[in-house]
Amino acid sequence: QTVVTQEPSVSVSPGGTVTLTCGLRSGSVSTSYHPSWYQQTPGQAPRTLMYNTNTRSSGVPDRFSGSILGNKAALTITGAQADDESDYYCVLYMGSGISVFGGGTTLTVL
């Protein structure tokens, strides 16, 4: 059973920069896993933020960026705003049609 790891919770000050990561319990994440990121606020459907590691989905502000940092995929928010306070999920493509979600990170802006 593949396990995709994310920080359960992270906090950032308004205007600050924060990086969320997406890793594998066993192994390193590379671009071949096609990392993607999703933002979800309570009661709402997820919103696609980033795909193919670092391509922003339509309408996503450029203060969101994606990368590979070390052995993990990363989502960086530069200049955090109050409405960035959400749950963030990553997905890795494992091959053979299989996708796996991370457990999600709750971001608090305070």
Please, which residue, 14 or 42, has the CB nearer to other proteins? 42
Please, which residue, 1 or 26, has the CB nearer to other proteins? 1
Instruction: Name the residue among 58, 63, 46 with its Cα closest to residue 101.
Output: 46
CA 26 to the chain's CA centroid: 19
CB of 34 to other proteins, least distance (A): 4
CB 40 within 8 A of CB 46: yes
CB of 2 to other proteins, least distance (A): 9
Which residue shows structure tokens 């109050």? 82
**Which residue in the set 21, 102, 107, 109 belongs to the binding site for other proteins (CB under 8 A)?**
102
Looking at residues 44 to 83 of the shown chain, list those that interact with other proteins (rule: CB under 8 A). 45-48, 51-52, 55, 57
Q: State the Cα–Cα distance between residues 45 and 98, nearest whole angstrom.
A: 21
Identify the bridge partners of residue 6 per DSSP, sorted by sequence position.
Answer: 22
Site residues for other proteins per CB under 8 A: 1, 34, 36, 38, 40, 45-48, 51-52, 55, 57, 89, 91, 93, 96-104
